[in-house]
């Protein structure tokens, strides 16, 4: 087997949450190009159908499942639907997330709870459901953020707390399920990538962050998706419990 063959995901079944926009679309397209069938989950089903066409254009099968990941029953339904259609789940990409920037003294309990409910709790509900059915050799990737590792000049207590917690969740599930289930669990901490989330930033914010970057530009979603393919393929087979920053160097400046 050549080294490039180790990156193939031929006939694997990959579940991607938050596949209706932004990075989730790039993740779904990349794993399909690497050979996987893809289960696409989010709340906006019309947008999931657009992602499904990208997966099918890559010659693979797609299943769309309307899912509010903050609801444990819907997270379970997502995995049940994947099992019913494909009979297996090899990879879960916990990518669904929201970002807010609210000064701490003004943030309402429901605002804080919503971010934690989607970003952290939703990742856990999906991982629990997937962990119950995954076979040895499967893997989970949780999408954290550099905000889980450092600060970036915005008031983001809820987001930063949820993304730091995802790193702890990753470590714990990796040790719980490594020997017992043969499931690898890793996290990716993206820096700044163009998406609907980053479009909500005030004009000039992203530019102001570039002085902290060792690679002074926004990341390309394909660069992030390539890291995902490495982590979930046999090329990443000895990596578990890790958080891989793909961030143009912002966490080292």
Ligand X SMILES: NC(=O)c1ccc[n+]([C@@H]2O[C@H](COP(=O)([O-])OP(=O)(O)OC[C@H]3O[C@@H](n4cnc5c(N)ncnc54)[C@H](OP(=O)(O)O)[C@@H]3O)[C@@H](O)[C@H]2O)c1
- In terms of DSSP bridges, do strands 184-190 and 243-246 run parallel, antiparallel, or are they unpaired? parallel
Three-point CA angle 117, 72, 129, nearest 5°: 120
3-state secondary structure of 188: strand
Which residues contribute to the site for ligand X (CB under 6 A)? Answer: 17-18, 20-24, 42-44, 47, 67-70, 95-99, 118, 143, 145, 190, 192-193, 195-198
Burial 154-187 (b: 16+ CB within 10 A, else e): bbbebbbbbbbbbbebbbebbeebeeebebbbbb
**Between 34 and 197, whose beta carbon lies closer to ligand X?**
197
Is 201 catalytic? The answer is: no
CB of 191 to ligand X, least distance (A): 6
DSSP state of 219: B
CB of 203 to ligand X, least distance (A): 16
**Between 116 and 235, whose beta carbon lies closer to ligand X?**
116
Do residues 28 and 104 make contact, with C-beta atoms less than 8 angstroms apart?
no
Do residues 144 and 188 make contact, with C-beta atoms less than 8 angstroms apart?
yes
Tokens standing for residue 152:
């970036």
CB of 124 to ligand X, least distance (A): 13
CB of 53 to ligand X, least distance (A): 16
**Between 1 and 223, whose beta carbon lies closer to ligand X?**
223
Q: What CA–CA distances, in Å, run from 19 to 67, 130, 218?
A: 11, 17, 21
**Between 45 and 133, whose beta carbon lies closer to ligand X?**
45
The residues annotated as belonging to the active site are 159
């Amino acid at each position: 087997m050549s080294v490039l063959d180790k990156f193939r995901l031929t006939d694997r079944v990959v579940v991607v949450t938050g596949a209706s926009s932004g990075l989730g679309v790039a993740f779904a397209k990349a794993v399909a190009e690497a050979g996987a069938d893809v289960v696409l989950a989010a709340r906006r089903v019309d947008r999931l159908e657009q992602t499904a066409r990208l997966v099918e254009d890559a010659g693979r099968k797609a299943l769309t499942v309307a899912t509010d990941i903050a609801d444990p029953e819907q997270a379970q339904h997502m995995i049940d639907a994947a099992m019913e259609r494909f009979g297996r789940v090899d990879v879960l990409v916990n990518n669904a997330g929201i970002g807010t920037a609210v000064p701490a003294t003004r943030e309402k309990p429901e605002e804080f709870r919503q971010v934690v409910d989607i970003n952290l709790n939703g990742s856990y509900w999906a991982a629990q459901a997937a962990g119950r059915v995954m076979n040895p050799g499967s893997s989970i990737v949780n999408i954290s953020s550099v905000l889980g590792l450092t600060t970036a000049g915005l008031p983001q207590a809820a987001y930063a707390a949820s993304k730091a917690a995802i790193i702890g969740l990753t470590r714990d599930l990796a040790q719980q399920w490594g020997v017992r289930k043969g499931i690898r669990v890793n996290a990716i901490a993206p820096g700044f990538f163009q998406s609907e989330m980053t479009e909500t930033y005030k004009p000039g914010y992203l530019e102001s962050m570039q002085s902290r970057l060792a690679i002074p530009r926004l990341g390309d979603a394909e660069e992030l998706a390539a890291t995902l393919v490495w982590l979930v393929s046999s090329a990443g087979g000895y990596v578990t419990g890790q958080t891989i920053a793909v961030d143009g160097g912002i966490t080292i400046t």
